[in-house]
């Protein structure tokens, strides 16, 4: 069993299954081997169900041998973030307030779709408590670490998924993103992650954080995310906000050319302070788009920093999510989340409605922006990964926590647009840097095809962490 098989893409595995040169059991064993070797150092999983995974893989192998694969990802090792319901497995949400006894009788829509298409579920990946912040540690599961440097955070809140993905512990990984929680960890760990248009992937139960919360793929390649999005998208009667189904095959759409596309490049969005190495890498990425034939124009100011809008909506959601906890449970919360809960008590209905109206203005502005530009390029994050156990690097600790180093992510949760992070460089400490690509609302294919074009020419597409340092 080799690391090479663990790092095979879904596309490569499916080709091997068809040809009979690889089996789903071998692929699953390779992923489980990576987990056994490296999860102790990374703490990416809250649950690994080896028996279930191998049984599912054997069933998949039998289907492939009979020439009757179940679906588009039959036999592909997959993980689920521990925010999403998964039948038979606890969904603990990183919190001591959740009773592990359940019952756990339901699958979230995306989990159900992946099972229907034959995915082999390995287990559940870690999240901060209720997915509230951009790093991954919690009172229930402890600290999750970055495969590139275990002293550093993998980001969050889908940090377990990103660490697992970067370390070859599974091929397809489901994340959620309410303020950057797919794109933040994708950037910090050098993988690809996309926050689809709101409603593209149905969710149930609906997030207490409301209509900023998205579900999406995290993978090592753009094509794997395109395949995964094709599986997970589509209507589900339990989510009344789901977008109507589209005929787009996201994998086929990857071949669309970006030549002649009108691409805006904004180094700071007009308000962000960006690490110089991050800025330089993203600038090189924008230049690469120009070399690919896109019409790239630097556009710095787009809108005022919408952080006040985001904070009101996000903090209110946190207050609502925790409203029924007992005093004992509140005292066991992540201290930062407890502070958010307490501070949110001062938000008035007028404050909330003001934020809703301001959000509408921001959404209108970006819809008008999309009439001029096909895509927007920005840094994924303002900084590279920093030390674990912190909400922010030291120089930002007094300013306001995780949202101060994520100035490029939360605006596009407010506008609900599709946005991805793709690796575009390494800093002088060997830590990944991400480029964000933002597209018009409901045009997820445009973001994927642009990312795919970039990936094919980027020198960082195949970069992997040195896992020998972990053992």
Question: What are the residue numbers of the active site?
Answer: 81, 157, 181
Q: State whether residue 124 is helix, strand or coil.
A: strand
Instruction: State the helix-helix crossing angle for 307-321 and 349-372, rounded to 10 degrees.
Output: 130
- Closest of 81, 276, 47, 303 to residue 186, by C-alpha: 81
Alpha carbons 163 and 28: distance in angstroms, whole number: 18
Rounded to 5°, the CA angle 222-223-224 comes to: 90
- Closest of 263, 140, 241, 164 to residue 196, by C-alpha: 241
Q: What is the DSSP letter of 176?
A: E
Burial of residue 428 (CB within 10 Å: 0-12, 13-18, 19+) is: exposed
Total length of the chain: 471
13 close to 61: Cβ distance less than 8 angstroms: no
Alpha carbons 471 and 247: distance in angstroms, whole number: 46
Query: Which residue(s) pair with 426 in the sheet?
Result: 432
H/E element, 451: helix 444-457
H/E element, 231: helix 222-232
Cis status of the peptide bond prior to 157, with omega within 30 of 0? yes
Query: Which residue(s) pair with 86 in the sheet?
Result: 89
Query: Which residue(s) pair with 142 in the sheet?
Result: 138
Phi, psi at 470, each rounded to 5°: -90, -15
- Closest of 88, 98, 76 to residue 18, by C-alpha: 76
Cis status of the peptide bond prior to 261, with omega within 30 of 0? no
Rounded to 5°, the CA angle 83-437-94 comes to: 15
Q: State whether residue 86 is helix, strand or coil.
A: strand
Which tokens sit at 346?
Answer: 């001062």
H/E element, 420: strand 419-426
Which tokens sit at 457?
Answer: 């020419």
DSSP 296-351: EEE----S---HHHHHHHHHHHHHHHTTT--HHHHHTS-HHHHHHHHHGGG--HHH
């Amino acid at each position: 069993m080799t690391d090479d098989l663990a790092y095979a893409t879904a596309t490569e595995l499916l080709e091997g299954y068809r040809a009979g040169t690889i089996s789903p059991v071998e692929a699953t064993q390779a992923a489980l081997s990576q987990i056994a070797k490296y999860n102790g150092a990374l703490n990416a999983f809250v649950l690994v169900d080896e028996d279930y995974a191998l049984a599912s893989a054997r069933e998949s192998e039998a289907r492939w041998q009979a020439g009757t694969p179940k679906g588009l990802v039959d036999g592909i090792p997959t993980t689920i973030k521990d925010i999403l319901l998964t039948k038979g497995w606890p969904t603990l949400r990183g919190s001591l307030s959740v009773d592990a006894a359940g019952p756990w009788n339901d699958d979230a829509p995306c989990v159900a779709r992946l099972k229907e298409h034959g995915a082999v579920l390995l287990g559940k990946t870690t999240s901060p408590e209720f997915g509230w912040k951009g790093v991954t540690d919690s009172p229930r599961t402890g600290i999750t670490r970055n495969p590139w440097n275990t002293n550093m955070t993998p980001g969050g809140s889908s940090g377990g998924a990103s660490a697992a993905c970067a370390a070859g512990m599974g091929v397809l990984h489901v994340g959620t993103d309410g303020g950057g929680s797919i794109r933040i960890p994708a950037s910090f760990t050098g993988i690809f992650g996309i926050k689809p248009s709101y409603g593209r992937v149905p969710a149930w139960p609906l997030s207490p954080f409301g209509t900023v919360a998205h579900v999406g793929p995290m993978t090592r390649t753009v094509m794997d995310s395109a395949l995964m999005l094709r599986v997970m998208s589509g209507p589900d009667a339990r989510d009344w906000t789901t977008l109507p189904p589209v005929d787009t095959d996201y994998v086929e759409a990857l071949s669309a050319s970006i030549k002649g596309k009108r691409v805006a490049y904004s180094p700071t969005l007009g308000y962000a302070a960006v690490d110089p190495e991050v800025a330089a890498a993203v600038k090189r990425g924008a230049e690469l788009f120009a070399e690919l034939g896109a019409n790239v124009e630097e556009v710095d100011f787009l809108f005022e920093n919408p952080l006040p809008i985001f904070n009101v909506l996000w903090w209110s959601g946190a207050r609502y999510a925790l409203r029924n906890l007992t005093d004992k449970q509140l005292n066991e919360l992540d201290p930062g989340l407890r502070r958010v809960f307490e501070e949110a008590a001062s938000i008035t209905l007028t404050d909330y409605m003001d934020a809703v109206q301001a959000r509408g203005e921001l959404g209108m502005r970006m819809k008008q922006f999309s009439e001029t530009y096909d895509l927007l390029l920005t840094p994924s994050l303002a900084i590279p990964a920093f030390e674990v156990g912190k909400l922010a690097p030291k120089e930002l600790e007094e300013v306001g926590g995780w949202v101060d180093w994520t100035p490029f992510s939360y605006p596009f949760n407010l506008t609900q647009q599709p946005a991805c992070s793709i690796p575009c460089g390494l800093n002088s400490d060997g830590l990944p840097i991400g480029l964000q690509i933002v597209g018009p609302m409901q045009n997820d294919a445009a973001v994927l095809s642009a990312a795919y074009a970039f990936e094919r020419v980027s020198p960082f597409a195949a970069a992997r962490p040195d896992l020998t340092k972990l053992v």
